[in-house]
Amino acid sequence: MKQIKIAIIDDHDLFREGIRLVIGQIENFEVVFDTSNGNLFLEFLQHSFPDVVLMDISMPLIDGVETTRKAIELRPSLNIIALTMFSDTTNYTKMINAGVKGFVLKKSTKFELQQAISVVFEGGNYFSQEIIKKLAFRSSNGFQGTDHLTNREIDILNLICKGFTSYEIAEKLFISAKTVETHRSNIFLKANVRNIAGLIVWAINNNYFSI
């Protein structure tokens, strides 16, 4: 397996050092950069491209939302996972709109962190179930789709919500990846959402998916 290069941006030195130690215990995981400052990370991106970024939300000088937005403007395919406290709900939607590929609670286990990094590295999305539940509760009156989904779209939606990539979905359903992408685009249009997190919340609220 390819070595996964990871960057950590968090303003709490002790927490950041703890994450480094945990990642150092996982085979094929390597921390290539860590900092407490979003601006220093943006400078790092000028000449380097980590595989996965672990991004704190609440930071001084430039917060995780702004850092994420600017980082993705610079590197559109960058894989960013937000590190968050369970209570930090006000910034969930902001981070989603900024372009994160996942959320992991700071209290999560080593196994969940490893799983999140691996899933996002492979092209999927990872959202802690506790966060998805909280997002669904906060958005119970939003994400109202305009059309019903076909049976095939429901199958694909469920696999998307479970974190499978388009290629993996194609293999499971014995269809082409291009066909999956077409269905995927139609699902997003019908759900009237812009990203995976919004889609999962919409799927939960409309009884297409349960956690």
Considering the entire predicted model, what is its pTM?
A: 0.77
CA–CA gap between residue 107 and residue 189 (Å, rounded): 35
CB 81 within 8 A of CB 116: yes
Which of 32-41, 118-127, 141-150 is predicted least confidently? 141-150
What average pLDDT does the segment 58-75 reach? 93
What is the architecture, at CATH level 2, of domain 4-130? 3-Layer(aba) Sandwich (3.40)
**What are the extents of the domains in the chain?**
4-130, 139-205
pLDDT band for position 153 (cuts 50, 70, 90): very high
Structure tokens at 94: 């902001």
Tokens of residue 43, six digits: 């400078």
Q: Does domain 139-205 have CATH number 3.30.450.40?
A: no
- For residues 134 and 114, the model is more confident at 114
How confident is the model over 94-110, as a mean pLDDT? 89
**pLDDT beyond 60 at 148:** yes
Read off the pLDDT band of 70 (50, 70, 90): very high
Confidence of residue 150 (pLDDT cuts 50, 70, 90): very high
Contact criterion met (CB below 8 Å) for 65 and 39: no
pLDDT at 77: 92
Per-residue pLDDT band for 205 (boundaries 50, 70, 90) equals: confident
Question: Taking 90 as the threshold, does the pLDDT of residue 13 lie above it?
Answer: yes
DSSP reduced 3-state for 4: strand
Question: In the predicted model, is pLDDT for residue 146 greater than 60?
Answer: no
Q: Which two tokens stand for residue 7?
A: 């960057």
Question: Mean pLDDT of all residues in the chain?
Answer: 88
Lateral strand order in the sheet of 80-84: 29-35, 4-9, 52-56, 80-84, 102-105, 126-127
Q: What are the tokens at 113?
A: 């962190």
Between CA 34 and CA 24 the distance in angstroms is: 13
The residues, ordered by sequence, that sit 6+ positions from 154 with a Cβ below 8 Å of its Cβ are 208
Q: Please enumerate in sequence order all residues whose Cβ is within 8 A of that of 61, keeping only pairs 6 or more positions apart, or say none.
A: 37, 38, 39
